[in-house]
């Protein structure tokens, strides 16, 4: 049984800004045609309560450390999806 090649994306929890790898426990919420992933149900609930607040804080931070963070993430995985061995 070969594992199908599913590209593993990393998502950012917009509430606590943690990395979330979808697959284990899926706390997701679709808002304005985008699906957001959360590390825990509590973050999901917080987001549902006031999505705009969290999306705003992301778009502000994105210009700073956010883009640097994404660069580092790309370098860390060498542009390839991580493998388990
Ligand atoms: Zn969280």
57 within a domain of the structure (yes/no): yes
Average pLDDT on 51-59 reads 83
Better pLDDT: 10 or 83: 10
pTM equals 0.58
**Quick check: helix, strand or coil at residue 84?**
coil
pLDDT range class, residue 40, cuts 50, 70, 90: very high
State the distance from the centre of ligand 1 to the C-alpha of 2, rounded, in angstroms.
Answer: 32
The DSSP line for 29-66 is EEETTEEEEESSHHHHHHHHH-HHHHHHHHHHHIIIII
State the distance from the centre of ligand 1 to the C-alpha of 82, rounded, in angstroms.
Answer: 22
The pLDDT of residue 3 is: 54
65 within a domain of the structure (yes/no): yes
State the distance from the centre of ligand 1 to the C-alpha of 1, rounded, in angstroms.
Answer: 34
What is the total count of domains within the chain? Answer: 1
Tokens read off for 63: 């210009």
State the distance from the centre of ligand 1 to the C-alpha of 55, rounded, in angstroms.
Answer: 14
Q: Which domain holds residue 51?
A: 11-77
Can you tell me the distance from the alpha carbon of 10 to that of 7, in angstroms, rounded to the nearest whole number?
A: 10
Please give the helix or strand (H or E) that residue 74 lies within, else none. helix 67-77
73 within a domain of the structure (yes/no): yes
Is the pLDDT score of 82 beyond 60?
no
pLDDT range class, residue 29, cuts 50, 70, 90: very high
């Amino acid at each position: 049984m070969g594992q199908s090649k599913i590209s593993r994306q990393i998502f950012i929890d917009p509430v606590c800004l943690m990395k979330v790898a979808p697959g284990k426990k899926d706390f997701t919420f679709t808002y304005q045609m985008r699906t957001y992933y959360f590390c825990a149900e509590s973050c999901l609930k917080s987001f549902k309560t006031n999505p705009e607040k969290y999306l705003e804080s992301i778009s502000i931070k994105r210009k700073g450390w956010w883009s640097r963070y994404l660069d580092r993430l790309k370098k860390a995985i060498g542009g390839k999806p991580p493998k388990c061995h």
